Structure 1
Amino acid sequence: MIVNGRYQTDIDIADRALQYGDGCFTTIAFRNGCLEFLAQHIQRLQKACGILYLEFSKWKTLEAQINQSVSDKYDCVVKVIISRGAGGRGYSPQGCRQPKFIITHHEIPAHYQAWQLNGLALTVSPILLAKQPILAGIKHLNRLEQVLIKQHLGATEFPDALVFDTDGALVETSVGNVFWKSNDVWYTPDLSNSGVEGVIRNQVISLMKNNGLDVNIVQHSLPDLANLQEMFICNSLMKVVPVSHWCKENEDVKITIQSNEQTRLIQSWLNQINHTSVKSIETN
């Protein structure tokens, strides 16, 4: 891993990312020599740092290091963490003035390509998300809810699950954002109380609007998903993945998607976006 520009194999045990989950992160797809939506990933980190009052300022250095880190790599995931660093007293960050950035590389999950082609089925997670408007939308380092969601999902036959908040409103899935079409109208969840505002979610909303497909941002519950025409999930690594059906675990209720015609269009629009190659950046 790279910590503040230096290759390291360990991290300070007093680092607040380890002690308290005090920081934020993003995951970038490096494909075909390009860091996809790099500017948008940097912007989401900047937004998260602002919300967390995390005084990180080395944005140009970070971006340069991200580009340099993949100069000898093939397709991979680039995970970028910003930590408040070591210091403070207990929970208080007072006096903590040396934040860190950490860059690591990982394989892109092989099954994502099959998901894009064939779609996937969803169940409903019994783990509910707490509502916290201050942290809603950002990808902070406190991910215990998602750990529990994944732990429960691992005991089922489903690859992913719809996730709701404590008031019963649909928020996301265990791996990404969700969109659905019902009665010829497209919807996606309101993320003002919980959930992650994904980079691809924002791209999809923009692409749909630019192509005449309005998206309604709503607080809908499980009964609102009973009559679906289309549904898909998305994140930066798998992009757009169609959903074939969803059902509640251990119940006979199965909601089958009628078709995913417009989903396939949205998938193609996203795949047609051009990205600047890392080699072009280095040349310039």
Structure 2
Amino acid sequence: MWINGAAATTLPAADRSVQFGDGCFTTARVLRAEIQLLSEHIARMRRAASVLCIDGVDWAALEREMVHAAGQQEEAVVKAVITRGQGGRGYSAAGCSEPTRIVSVSAYPAHYHALRKHGVKLTLSPVNLSKNPLLAGIKHLNRLEQVMIRLHLDQTDAHEALVVDTSGCLVECCAANLFWRKGNHIFTPDLSQSGVDGVMRRHIIRLIENTSPWTLHIVSEPVKALSDADEVLICNALMPVLPVAQASGEKYSSRELYDFLLQSC
């Protein structure tokens, strides 16, 4: 692990990431020593920092540190965190002029390889996501909703959780974005009110929008929208895409969209 470019494993207790979850992060896949979609990860972090009004980030240094962390890794995970830095006791960010950069590397989740073959089982989470259009889409450090979703998921035999918002509309999974297909029509949830607009989600949207015969729809739909889907898949920067075999009792066998996306993800 590196903090502001120096090897370290401890962070000052006064850092606002510890005190308030004040920051953002991204998690990237390393393949043959290269970070996949690196420019998109940096762009995503820039968007999040802008929303959070975190100024003064040395973006060039962060990118160098991420590349260094990838090193000679054949397959691994690089995580990058930006915090507002150290501050006083209260909420005010006054005087926080030196953001903190944290970069770490860890092993690639090996179970993703098996799930590509056998497919993913999804269960409906009892935890609903709150709506917050100000923070919707960005990957900020306040992840308590996801922690609670994962706690409930770990009590089941499912691999991932379908998550809805407080209006009952599909948003995402615990740690992945969601797509489903009906014929040539591809659907993904609207993330303007809650959820994380993932790097792989954006990549897939661009692929679909630029490829015939697919038609993309960004929608607000309940879980029952999946009942007549021909195919369901989930994605994140690490997976990068996985086919869904079962979701809330419905079973899926088609991999038409999955096979198409796998060529470019």
What is the aligned partner in structure 2 of residue 218 from structure 1?
Answer: 219
2:264 alignment partner in structure 1: 269
Q: Which shows bigger deviation, 68-77 or 157-166?
A: 68-77
Query: What SS is found at the alignment partner of 2:263?
Result: helix
1:258 Cα deviation (Å)? 4.8
Written as runs of structure 1 = structure 2, the 5 A alignment for 1:195-210 is: 195-210=195-210
Q: Which moved more, 1:148-157 or 1:61-70?
A: 61-70
1:238-270 Cα distance to aligned partner (Å, 9 max, x none) = 1110001211xxxxxx21225122221112232
Tell me the distance in 2 between the aligned counterparts of 1:150 and 1:160: 8
CA apart distance, 1:210: 1.8
- Provide the residue aligned with 2:112 in structure 1: 112
TM-score by length of 2: 0.96
Within the alignment, does 1:255 sit opposite 2:256 as a pair?
no
Cα separation, 2, equivalents of 1:176 and 1:144: 16
Amino acid at match of 1:105: V
Q: What is the match of residue 245 of structure 2?
A: 244
Q: Residues 183-236 of structure 1: CA distance to partner in whole angstroms, max 9, x if unpaired?
A: 542100000000000000011111112221121000001222211101100000
Q: Is the 8 A contact 1:184 1:229 kept in 2?
A: no
1:21-170 alignment to 2 at 5 Å?
A: 21-170=21-170
Equivalent pairs: percent with the same residue?
A: 42
On the 8 A contact 1:228/1:256 being kept in 2, the answer is no
Rounded Cα–Cα distance in structure 2 between residues aligned with 1:102 and 1:182? 42
* Equivalence for 1:274: none
Shift of 1:72: 4.0
- Matches of 1:27 and 1:104, distance apart in 2: 10
Task: Classify the secondary structure of the residue corresponding to 1:200.
Answer: helix
Letter in 2 for 1:164: V
Conserved? CA contact 1:49–1:56, under 8 Å:
no
Instruction: Tell me which amino acid in the other structure corresponds to 1:85.
Output: G
Gaps of 5+ in 2: none
Cα root mean square deviation, aligned: 1.2
Q: Structure 1: any 5+ residue segments left out of the alignment?
A: 248-253, 271-284
Give TM-score scaled by structure 1 length: 0.90
Question: C-alpha deviations, 1:55-98, integer Å up to 9, x for none?
Answer: 13311111112112222433210000000011144111112111
- Indicate the residue corresponding to 2:14 in structure 1: 14
Q: Number of paired residues? A: 264
Asked if the contact 2:163–2:174 (Cα under 8 Å) also holds between the matched residues in 1, the reply is yes
8 Å Cα contact 1:120/1:242 also seen in 2: yes
Q: What SS class does the counterpart of residue 238 from structure 1 fall into?
A: coil
Give the 3-state SS of the residue equivalent to 1:150 in structure 2.
helix
Alpha-carbon distance between aligned partners in 1 of 2:102 and 2:151, rounded to the nearest angstrom: 26
Task: Name the aligned partner's letter for residue 259 of structure 2.
Answer: R
Q: Tell me how far 1:105 sits from its aligned partner.
A: 1.0
Which consecutive aligned stretches of 4+ in structure 1 deviate over 4 angstroms post-superposition?
none
Map of 1:282 onto structure 2:
none
Q: Is this contact kept in 2: 1:2–1:103, CA < 8 A?
A: yes
